[in-house]
Chain A
């Protein structure tokens, strides 16, 4: 019974049959009947302008138009970490596509037609489309009231500038260390914006019923956080938390795009203006590109000092982020990087400036990797460059500097247990066993190597909880509020409960939440739900198990200590013949000799909050707190074939090892590794957001913004699972979903250098860029 039966096994996904049969319901699949209204937004045509007036009269005259709503109706701010955004633009617009007004109509076609009849009179202002321009002293201010904005205590805005937050992390003395270094390498790197591209666009349906109850159905990663943000923002209208309900059905991909709150608040707000009617707001693919979060762009300056033997002694990492028009979520990406931009290395002298800058581009926000892909491109390029300069094997240099358990992070906390060296060695072994030959004389092959790390970026009090209840046949319902955004979260939660309670996952129903019925979960972000929510499920299952044992003890007079659960029965260590099926008593109790019953429905509950985490630290150095609960680490290598005559690249093989503590379901872990690698490759090789100088996104569709098809994937991907247990994780697990795409960009850069001797320092890395760099070198 000590052997694990469900954990670590490739259990079949609990949502498999639903999704494969066509039964799975996504938010836009729900039928709301003939009373459903359709909303369409009026978008800003300018990246930066004053709104002088909005004339809705012509639109209102159109038959079947129910209402036209503008910012005047909702002068309320909202935001996750910083309240810098209005539900609708008020007197000013700050990006092209921002919602200025909304038309609600009986039919979507009419709503679209009416939008064209709304006349908005603007006075255009100079637009800041580059974060470095926005930093200049004479730059126009995008948020004049910045000093009055409410924000979390770990943000440090700079009033009268466009700097929304500046995370500074300082340890040791970099100047002395640079002076004493044998070699110092300094360079700049640039990573542009990217789009998440879930195949399901955002959709939210709001209904404010005649009793004053607001229900939102949304494609969401954050049902409880959305409920909280809606309740806070709409409080002036008399709404309270208990009046707001968010129902989150299946989600067609998130990748961070559906975290926090973006367009959903529009659906919530307009529902309150059409009481009694459900109203649907559905984003087109175009809007999915420009009016949800985008991955932030960044320009970095990186200076690293080393000793001759390869020991890194100092790092100065300056990161200037193009965070967009509103940074209510994106500023926390900047913050996360500001704490972690040393990478998985033990570096004694550290200086990080991570600067969150307002621009007139769409709001930046969470994107798988949460800023780490962006800084690792420069950092991991740098390490290889330094190693090659010193004549050291780049892998050896990484081993020498790799952070180990107990070493100090940039902000002075101790590094958690981790399998970084094991990951490096496993990837190295796989890499050395492979020997590719170019497929033609004008082609060359390069290998790239990279390490990666990432911590969940979450408030120190981000909580998870779980309810568990049995049914008459011994099956159970598990109620949690994390979202299965495809990663397999629900399956893994079922596995945890199955392991503790001896009930197969096929007898556990666990579904995406309804905030009225399911207990609290902060958000499904940060690759933390397996860990956080998993801990809550573990506690709920143990709670239920203890209640089962207690009822057996007091009715059958067997000591709790002798009991265990297996094969849907209570069994006894001292009596092999004893096996009491759960279904016999988990609802109706156990009958005593006198015909009375003891016990009753078995319920479990569990709560998890990382009580050791704290963001309280010195604002000038970030020393003193424990902002990150733990880091997940890994290593990867890649084989790249390049055509010297065209620059065209083909990825032959990728090997990636990740220390997920314990792979609760190894097949799902492998799925994350393969999917993440392909998404990572896309950001380097295929995807590229193009803006006009006026701030208009020029390629807001899948024809011009290319994500990989089945024909664009590497020939061979080798996932490697490393398991150095996370002591406070469920069965030792820690998160790994986002991390899988982190090492890709620097590996491509390093492979190109090995093959052609040219160093690319900006993403994306296109064939054209490689060809031009190589031609210049020749």
Chain B
């Protein structure tokens, strides 16, 4: 058992973890951050993606203890004063989700992309979200939303 300090969506949180606790479980069960989802628990589906010091990682493959003193972002932290990010708004406008279960992970991957590259091309967009499985949309509407945001950047 160890008490660790994680900066989550801008707020410093203290939490006690076991050495083998994975970050996804700690976020969801001990810190109440529910947007990262468990889809496969082996890194295949990307539904648990979070930004770890700005880089997208699968939180099911990271031990919570590795996040001690580090910074984690999830989609709960992307809205500012109740206003969604441009990307979140464009996802609504383009119907870039259906069941919504993969969306938090996809928005995380796309946010990482758009922060590092203002105007990615279609192949770069596809590559950026290729680790996030979506069974509903066929991805087209997701790609359209990301393109739309990049045009306005």
Q: Which residues of A contact B (CB under 8 A)?
A: 12-13, 15-22, 24-26, 28-29, 31, 196-201, 250-255, 284-285, 485-488, 667-668, 671, 674-679, 701-703, 707-711, 713, 717
B98 x A488 contact (CB < 8 A): yes
Q: Which 9 A-B pairs have the closest CB atoms?
A: A252-B101, A486-B98, A486-B99, A19-B100, A678-B138, A22-B35, A702-B44, A16-B92, A674-B138
B136 at the interface (CB under 8 A from A): yes
B147 at the interface (CB under 8 A from A): no
CA distance A197 to B39 in the complex (A): 10
B79 x A21 contact (CB < 8 A): yes
Query: Which residues of B are found within 8 Å of A21, using beta-carbon distances?
Result: 75-76, 79, 84, 88
Question: Do A20 and B101 contact each other (CB < 8 Å), given the known contacts A25-B34, A285-B39, A674-B140?
Answer: no
CA distance A13 to B142 in the complex (A): 15
Taken residue by residue from 128 to 153, chain B's Cβ proximity to chain A (1 for < 8 Å, 0 otherwise) reads as 01111111111111110000000000
Query: Which residues of B are found within 8 Å of A22, using beta-carbon distances?
Result: 34-35, 74-76, 104
A252 x B40 contact (CB < 8 A): no
Query: Which residues of A are found within 8 Å of B112, using beta-carbon distances?
Result: none
A199 contact from B45, B79, B129, Cβ within 8 A: B45
Name the CB-closest residue of A to B137: A675
Instruction: Number of B interface residues at 8 Å Cβ cutoff, please give it.
Output: 51
Of the A-B pairs whose beta carbons lie under 8 Å apart in the complex, a sample of 17, sorted by A's number, is A21-B79, A22-B34, A22-B75, A22-B76, A28-B37, A28-B38, A197-B135, A198-B135, A199-B37, A199-B135, A253-B136, A674-B137, A701-B40, A702-B42, A702-B133, A708-B138, A709-B132
Question: Do A252 and B139 contact each other (CB < 8 Å), given the known contacts A22-B35, A711-B126, A711-B127?
Answer: no
CA distance A216 to B29 in the complex (A): 20
CA distance A147 to B150 in the complex (A): 64
Name the CB-closest residue of B to A705: B44
Query: Which residues of B are found within 8 Å of A251, using beta-carbon distances?
Result: 99
B99 x A20 contact (CB < 8 A): no
CA distance A18 to B91 in the complex (A): 12
A200 x B37 contact (CB < 8 A): yes
A250 contact from B79, B88, B100, B141, Cβ within 8 A: B100
B102 contact from A31, A199, A674, A708, Cβ within 8 A: A199
Least Cβ–Cβ distance between A743 and chain B, in angstroms: 15
B68 at the interface (CB under 8 A from A): no
B103 at the interface (CB under 8 A from A): yes
Least Cβ–Cβ distance between A34 and chain B, in angstroms: 11
Query: Which residues of B are found within 8 Å of A252, using beta-carbon distances?
Result: 37, 39, 99-102
The winner among B28, B44, B89, B142 for most chain A CB atoms within 10 A is: B44
Least Cβ–Cβ distance between B48 and chain A, in angstroms: 11
B143 x A20 contact (CB < 8 A): no
A486 x B139 contact (CB < 8 A): no
CA distance A24 to B36 in the complex (A): 11
Question: Do A701 and B44 contact each other (CB < 8 Å), given the known contacts A26-B101, A678-B139, A710-B142?
Answer: yes
CA distance A201 to B41 in the complex (A): 11
B138 x A677 contact (CB < 8 A): yes
Query: Which residues of A are found within 8 Å of B129, using beta-carbon distances?
Result: 710
CA distance A750 to B144 in the complex (A): 31
B44 x A703 contact (CB < 8 A): yes
CA distance A463 to B119 in the complex (A): 51
Name the CB-closest residue of B to A15: B100
CA distance A710 to B79 in the complex (A): 26
CA distance A711 to B127 in the complex (A): 7
CA distance A252 to B76 in the complex (A): 18
A701 x B42 contact (CB < 8 A): yes
Query: Which residues of A are found within 8 Å of B127, using beta-carbon distances?
Result: 711
Taken residue by residue from 41 to 76, chain B's Cβ proximity to chain A (1 for < 8 Å, 0 otherwise) reads as 110110100000000000000000000000000111
Task: Give 7 A-B pairs besides A15-B100, A201-B38, A707-B135 with Cβ atoms closer than 8 angstroms.
Answer: A22-B35, A22-B104, A253-B99, A253-B135, A671-B141, A675-B137, A713-B138
Name the CB-closest residue of A to B91: A20
CA distance A671 to B125 in the complex (A): 19
B37 x A20 contact (CB < 8 A): no
Query: Which residues of A are found within 8 Å of B39, using beta-carbon distances?
Result: 199-201, 252, 285
Query: Which residues of A are found within 8 Å of B74, using beta-carbon distances?
Result: 22
CA distance A198 to B42 in the complex (A): 16
B130 x A671 contact (CB < 8 A): no
B11 at the interface (CB under 8 A from A): no
Query: Which residues of A are found within 8 Å of B84, using beta-carbon distances?
Result: 17, 20-21
Question: Do A26 and B37 contact each other (CB < 8 Å), given the known contacts A251-B99, A486-B99?
Answer: yes
CA distance A539 to B88 in the complex (A): 35
Name the CB-closest residue of B to A672: B98
Question: Do A717 and B135 contact each other (CB < 8 Å), given the known contacts A19-B97, A253-B99, A285-B39?
Answer: no
A199 x B99 contact (CB < 8 A): yes
Name the CB-closest residue of B to A682: B135
Query: Which residues of B are found within 8 Å of A675, using beta-carbon distances?
Result: 98, 136-138
Query: Which residues of B are found within 8 Å of A28, using beta-carbon distances?
Result: 37-38
Least Cβ–Cβ distance between B36 and chain A, in angstroms: 9
B79 x A485 contact (CB < 8 A): no
Name the CB-closest residue of B to A10: B95
CA distance A21 to B74 in the complex (A): 10
B6 at the interface (CB under 8 A from A): no
Query: Which residues of A are found within 8 Å of B32, using beta-carbon distances?
Result: 31
Name the CB-closest residue of B to A197: B135
Taken residue by residue from 18 to 34, chain B's Cβ proximity to chain A (1 for < 8 Å, 0 otherwise) reads as 00000000001000101
Query: Which residues of A are found within 8 Å of B89, using beta-carbon distances?
Result: 20
Least Cβ–Cβ distance between B24 and chain A, in angstroms: 12
B8 at the interface (CB under 8 A from A): no
B114 at the interface (CB under 8 A from A): no
The winner among A13, A199, A677, A713 for most chain B CB atoms within 10 A is: A199
A285 contact from B41, B88, B142, B143, Cβ within 8 A: B41
